[in-house]
Amino acid sequence: MDNLKRRHPYQAFQLSPIPGPFEPIPLQSPDHDDLDDNIQKEKTLKSGPSPNRTWLLYCQEKQRLLTTVALTLLSLWTRFRLIGLSNFVVWDEAHFGKFASYYLKREFYFDVHPPLGKMLLALSGYLTGYDGSFGFDSAAMYPDTVNYTSMRIFTATWGALLVPLAYLTAQQFHMSQKACLLTASMVLFDTAYLCISRFILLDSLLLFFTSTSLYTLATFRNQSDKPFSRSWWTWLSLTGLSLGCVLSVKWVGLFAVALVGFYTVEELWDLLGDVQMPKKTYLCHWIARAVCLIGLPAMIYIASFAVHFAILTKSGPGDAVMSSLFQSTLEGNSLANNPLELAYGSVVTIKNIGYGGGLLHSHVQTYPEGSRQQQVTSYHHKDRNNEWQVRFARNSPQENLKVQEASEETVVRFVKNGDVIRLYHPATQRNLHSHRIPAPLTSSQWEVSGYGNDTVGDLKDNWRIEIVKDPSTNENQRVQALKTTFRLRHVLLDCLLTTNGVSLPAWGFRQLEVGCDRSNHTDDSRTWWNIEEHKHDALPPAEKNTFKSPFFKDFLHLNIAMWRSNNALVLDPEKIDNLASKPTDWPFLSVGLRMCSWDDEKPKYYMLGNPVVWWSAGLALSTFVATVFICLIRMRRNIKDFSKAQWARFYSVGKIILSGWLLHYIPFFIMGRILYLHHYFPALYFGIFMVPYLLDYATSKSSARVRNAVYAAAFIAVTGTFFYFAPVAFGIQGSSKPYAGRHWRQNWSIA
């Protein structure tokens, strides 16, 4: 028994009727194209070294390189053709071009996407001499100072590289040469991919890094019989590099990370069954994957934010979403000139510490129900309605002391831990107030309102300062601007001022609800506040370099703010967005998307996929699922449609493709955010591979004539449909009425 050894797991897969989902390609039988190539090479060698035959042999050996180069050149031509036709801002160029401008001006901004892709867009502007002065307003004409054509060429190049990558990835899946060319052609001639890559947008960058992730995974998969070799380490590291990049462009990259993660978990589970493998070697497999597939992507993701912070050193429109301490480090931000210690008479803005929390805010509008007093909300944008003045509490000995007198006294009265204060709103002359009336949305909290004035009020205007933490040495327990975190406890109700991140309806301008938490969750950061802006005529500015913000705290703060803002991008039920769509619309290409106004005097772009590509991808995915299901049933009845090696290859490669599609498609069903057609593009990329993959198997036992006819029909269908619909991607010039015949679906609106 001691001499018995378990089979190597990869050998076991070749003998097992149902292999694991992500094992390497087992002993496959050569396809017809490979046999034809080998026969031709033998004939060429036997016939002598004539120049023509030598050149033919060289071309055969270099076929992969030559085909890749040819596909790249063809793809570049289609992406660059008429790319500068529209001299106005098209669709989301208004957003991403503006972000590029912020980088070039070094002004801090906020967006829901990670920074890598937008920094690359900024690089394209920098290389073309753009200085960031253009506002990128929607549909605005580009001035002479913006070389928009070159910036579009930059993004189009990334989109063009999708085509050769699709070809090379299909080769790593060991498809036939015809299938590899069909895969590349379907990517090349998809009008949606063509259209989206021709503008200053993130999608071509996202698709490029998604495709490199699949390519490096497929290549690494083929190195499994050479663990810890140079090529094995190279492709494992490149897979991690690709994952880090795709995740740093958009969070959709998490789906690519999940695909590689499932593969890795399955592979490590299989390796666990190899009893011949030393435990140390198995541990090394874990360490290698942890370093390359977790550590490396994490480093790239964090590094992209480090560069982001290093570039954006000036105050900009995104300041308010960050912590007050971070804002004080930005050039041009007045917070660095704050007086350090809070005093009575100070005019301040008060920011919630909770991630995504805003500034304490009030305006003249009242609650439609409840007390019907003045609204108090949390607001991310800076304006005068965020300002509050610290005054003496109601019924205190100093209540009737004028604030001006307090400011002009020789000894300024500072606010300390435990002090009871009143917060006065100068813009509306109301006091921060609470009472036993439920908050408008969160009934478990008391409503907070603006009430009374400088002379009219009661004890419900009083709040006690409770210091939570202060990173500096503060022996006097004084409240310090930016540094001190504190709670505001209502003296009579014993509840805590809080904002829970719930957005008010239209009557509250979609700002965040503010309430008084009667549960007294003192450890909840949403009940914590700090002083942001601080003005007091009798106090000097803080000393230079008093305020510093740690990187990882800023990194975490920004990412949580991005997450919450992303979730808040929901469809407004009171508005109709004709561009939005549902995930159920995408595989069937039920909708398209007008990317600009439909003015006859301007080029018009309609985001619409190649119907043959989209519909065949959906059909192929369904066919694969049905085929696997039927084959498994027949296997149970001992009916064999495949040899064990053929089934292992068919099942394993097909599962990678299907898993990639599912992981990039299904999550959108549970997202509450507003969705558009382009959200399906990464999933489509995986679906495209299934079409030639199944054609290979469907024609594997057919004659060469039948195979050629099938693939010829597929090429003709894809290219013919592309040329028919190409004007919607290259730009419809003049009236769109001649294109009314292209309305193959009821909801298409080309004309």
Q: How do residues 103-126 score in pLDDT, each as one tens digit?
A: 999 999 999 999 999 999 999 999
- Containing 713, the helix (H) or strand (E) segment is helix 704-730
| Separation CA 739–CA 724 (nearest Å) | 10
**Cβ neighbours of 431 (radius 10 Å):** 28
Residue count of the chain, please give it: 751
Plot region of 494 (φ>0 → left; ψ -120 to 50 → alpha; else → beta)? left
Helix (H, G, I), strand (E, B) or coil at 392: strand
d(CA 586, CA 574): 24
Give how far Cα 654 sits from Cα of 22, 188, 686, Å.
Answer: 9, 22, 10
Residue 38 confidence (pLDDT): 45
pLDDT above 50: residue 670: yes
- Classify 8 as helix, strand or coil: coil
| Residue range 583-642, pLDDT digits in tens | 999 999 999 999 999 999 999 999 999 999 999 999 999 999 999 999 999 988 888 888
| DSSP letters spanning 261-324 | HHHHHHHHHHHHT-TTS-HHHHHHHHHHHHIIIIIHHHHHHHHHHHHHHHH--B--TTGGGS-H
* Euclidean distance between CA atoms 141 and 280, whole angstroms: 64
Q: How far is CA 260 from CA 114, 210, 216, 591, 649, in A?
A: 20, 11, 10, 31, 18
CA distance 94 to 136: 5
Candidates 199, 166, 73; CA nearest to 718 is: 166
In this predicted model, what pLDDT tens digit does every residue of 209-257 receive, in sequence order?
Answer: 999 999 999 999 999 999 999 999 999 999 999 999 999 999 999 999 9
The first and second tokens of residue 606, run together, are 């309609």
CA pair distance 303, 87, nearest whole angstrom = 35
**Cβ atoms 198, 718 nearer than 8 A:** no
The predicted pLDDT at position 496 comes to 97
Task: State the number of CA atoms in the 13 A half-sphere of 244 facing the CB.
Answer: 21
pLDDT of residue 49: 53
- The pLDDT-based confidence of 578 (bands split at 50, 70, 90) is confident
Which element (helix H / strand E) includes 254? helix 253-272
For residue 611, which phi and psi values (nearest 5 degrees)?
-55, -40
Burial class (CB in 10 A: 0-12, 13-18, 19+), 277: middle
Please state the domain extents for the chain: 62-305+584-742, 332-553
Single pTM value for the model: 0.85
Q: Which residues pair with 463 in a beta bridge?
A: 421, 490
How open is the CA angle 443-449-450, to the nearest 5 degrees?
Answer: 175
Counting DSSP H helices and E strands in the chain, the numbers are: 22, 14
Give Cβ neighbours of residue 494 (< 8 Å, ≥ 6 apart). Answer: 518, 520
Report how far residue 56's alpha carbon sits from residue 35's, in angstroms, rounded to the nearest whole number: 17
**Can you name the CATH fold of 332-553?**
Trefoil (Acidic Fibroblast Growth Factor, subunit A) (2.80.10)
Question: In this predicted structure, what is the pLDDT of residue 648?
Answer: 86
245-299 confidence digits (pLDDT tens): 999 999 999 999 999 999 999 999 999 988 899 999 999 999 999 999 999 999 9
Stretch (H or E) spanning 69: helix 63-80
Residue 421: closest CA among 450, 391, 443: 391
Which stretches within 487-610 are classed as H helix? 551-567
For position 20, what pLDDT does the model report?
Answer: 37
Spatial separation of the C-alpha atoms in residues 212 and 240, rounded to whole Å: 10
